[in-house]
A and B are shown apart, each in its own frame.
Chain A
Amino acid sequence: MQLWALIVDSFRESLDRKIFWVMAVISILIAATMCCIGFEPGKIVLFFGMWEFDTDLFTTMVNGQAVIRTDRIATLAVHYIMDLTIGWGGVALAIIATAGFFPAFIERGSIDVVLSKPMARWRVFLGKYIGSMVFVFVQACLFVLLTFVVIGIRWGCWIPGYLLTVPLVLLLFSYLYCVSVWVAVYFRSTVAAVLLTLGAWFVFSGVQTTASLFDTYPSWQDNRTAYVAFRTAKWVLPKTHDITYLAAKWSGAGTSDELLPEPDVPDDDMETINRAAEVEREYMKVNPLLTIGSSLLFEAVVIMLAMWRFSRTDY
């Protein structure tokens, strides 16, 4: 009852934020835009036939018949729609929108009444933490469901695995939100929470990108110290890129470069590009338990630190 009350309160707080409705409208607009795109064997159709572009990018022959390539549609959906919009833009907006939840919650005059209730402080903390994620859960559900239906009806491809991007986006957000909450509890500042969380995301992403470059350029591994440091850091810190890889894997998508035209570059550079694509394919085979488990371990440690601070502070 008490936890549920905190979650419902957080949901109401989410609905009160203008950015919640802005994001909802953006999701609808993206879905509407996707509706204006159609895929037919051998071509892409825009605005219900107003323009047509011939391409075999999304077409394959099966038993002499041209059919739409589901894996290419999934690649488009995961790498270019889900990843770029809700995966990056949506999560960034959610970080900004929810950064003020905890500072407002622990503000003097606000936290007093809550702490006077018969509820252990760690439960208060967890209730508010989980409740704050309702914001992202609702947005993720809205976006994914709308685009899932559009992809199914308009593009002719039903991709059940695509629905699993909802918990994946929630996971991605939680990796970052734990940092936001930790900053909020220690510094009680919304601005600090936003800046440090986005900074942390940059670090997590940078570490993963650099670690993958060590695989793309094997000669870099000669610097053993840097190699070991980045590999270790990659496993200790949350693996934000793996969210996209898992989404691609479960949706049956290919690598992100499959939809790009082959660049006109020298053979050496082409070799590098191919190796990068190969590395991405290997990363898409990531063990979900391992990547999610290790990332959640980081999140658990950060949450425990924030919870400890919250429990020990005089308000």
Chain B
Amino acid sequence: MEGITEMTNWAVDLIDVRKTYSKRIEALRGVNVQVKRGEIFGLLGPNGAGKTTLVKIMMTIVRPTHVLGTILGRPIGHRGKLARIGYLPESHRFPPYLTGAQLLDYYAALARVPRATRRKNVDRLLDRVWLAQWGGTRIDKYSKGMLQRLGIAQALMNDPELLVLDEPTDGLDPVGRRDVRELLLELRDKGTTIFLNSHLLSELEMVCDRVAILVDGLVARQGTLSELTEHTVEYRIKVHGDLLPVVDKLKALEAELDGTIISLAGHDAAKVNAVIDVLRGANVLIEAIEPHRFSLEDILVEVVGGGARVAHPVGTQDAG
């Protein structure tokens, strides 16, 4: 069974992850998450959904109430596999008395990276995160963005198979965020699996292959961005003119009117053309026609709706 698990494509295969705090608060209520090897996977959700709890369970910082499944083919907490995982927590506090190079060396030593490899990786990674000039400086002199980049470098010191990043672009300016995105794509292309937890949905949209939306301790949606937004595809036609004479005809074609915007759900080109014919027949000026797909933010808002945003008390019913 273990051999079969090793051979699967799942870098992360979590089944029925549950976590209850103080026998009262259910932070996770049976989460199932699968991450393919070599992909960038995003985890998103509102505050209090359980994202950080799930990540901490993966990294053995928090003990689950119940969990089945594997990470890199081994049960969660397997020491050998932890050595192959790189992790950057949210709101990290690094020892301020260390220099950048000392910090990288320290955490790499804890990850059982041999000394010779550590020496090589320190220089290489400091350069990779644009901190080559700062390796000998104490990190209490670093800016927030520099600390974040150092944190990413720290997570890469053991050349991980799986990289788990909690808010990796926190504190970075737009240029820094772009650089991190490029780094993540580069790592993915080299075969590293990346698990991202982020509030910056636009960032996730740009890099993630698949995402999961966590709400109230449960996965509400999971899949590729295309799969999640497939049902949200529509055409939007911006017009100028009086639509009153043709309202009934447009409604018959299942078009929705919102001021000067006409929306048509789905991607049926024939229906779009029928609407265009109606509009042109009424001498309505068509200013623009564009396909529209919900963003990740739109999906998240749709999923969350007006439901509760805190961890679920034990015994209460599902929200939404």
A residues whose Cβ falls under 8 Å from a Cβ of B: 1-2, 4-6, 8-9, 12-13, 15-16, 107-120, 312, 314-315
Residues of B within 8 A of A312 (CB): 63
With A16-B97, A113-B89 as known contacts, state yes or no: A119 contacts B110, CB within 8 Å: yes
Give the size category of B's interface with A.
Answer: 20 to 34
B residues whose Cβ falls under 8 Å from a Cβ of A: 21, 56, 59-63, 79-83, 85, 87-98, 102, 106-107, 109-112, 115, 154
Interface centre among A5, A8, A114, A312 (most CB of B within 10 A): A5
Cβ contact within 8 Å between A112 and B110: no
B93 → chain A, closest Cβ, in Å? 4
| 21 A-B pairs with C-beta separation under 8 A | A1-B115, A2-B109, A2-B112, A5-B109, A8-B106, A9-B95, A9-B98, A13-B97, A15-B97, A16-B96, A108-B93, A109-B91, A109-B93, A110-B94, A112-B92, A113-B154, A115-B59, A116-B87, A117-B107, A118-B83, A119-B110
Bound together, the chains give a CA A112 to CA B111 distance in angstroms of 13
Cβ contact within 8 Å between B97 and A112: no
Cβ contact within 8 Å between B87 and A12: no
Bound together, the chains give a CA A1 to CA B116 distance in angstroms of 13
* Nearest-neighbor residue (CB-CB) of B105 within chain A: A5
Residues of B within 8 A of A2 (CB): 109-110, 112
* Nearest-neighbor residue (CB-CB) of B111 within chain A: A117
Partner of B82, one of A110, A117, A314: A117
Cβ contact within 8 Å between B110 and A117: yes
Interface centre among A1, A4, A8, A114 (most CB of B within 10 A): A1
Partner of B110, one of A5, A108, A110, A315: A5
* Nearest-neighbor residue (CB-CB) of A114 within chain B: B110
A138 → chain B, closest Cβ, in Å? 15
Bound together, the chains give a CA A113 to CA B92 distance in angstroms of 8
Partner of A12, one of B56, B97, B107, B154: B97
Bound together, the chains give a CA A111 to CA B61 distance in angstroms of 8
B162 → chain A, closest Cβ, in Å? 11
* Nearest-neighbor residue (CB-CB) of A2 within chain B: B110
Closest 7 CB pairs of A and B: A16-B97, A5-B109, A109-B93, A112-B89, A118-B82, A117-B110, A116-B59
Cβ contact within 8 Å between A118 and B112: yes
Residues of B within 8 A of A119 (CB): 79, 110
* Nearest-neighbor residue (CB-CB) of A127 within chain B: B110
Cβ contact within 8 Å between A315 and B61: yes
Residues of B within 8 A of A1 (CB): 109, 112, 115
Residues of A within 8 A of B21 (CB): 314
Residues of B within 8 A of A109 (CB): 89-93
Cβ contact within 8 Å between A113 and B62: no
Bound together, the chains give a CA A157 to CA B97 distance in angstroms of 41
With A15-B97, A314-B62 as known contacts, state yes or no: A112 contacts B107, CB within 8 Å: no
With A4-B109, A117-B107 as known contacts, state yes or no: A112 contacts B82, CB within 8 Å: no
With A113-B154, A314-B63, A315-B61 as known contacts, state yes or no: A118 contacts B111, CB within 8 Å: yes
Cβ contact within 8 Å between B91 and A108: yes
Cβ contact within 8 Å between A9 and B112: no
Residues of B within 8 A of A4 (CB): 109
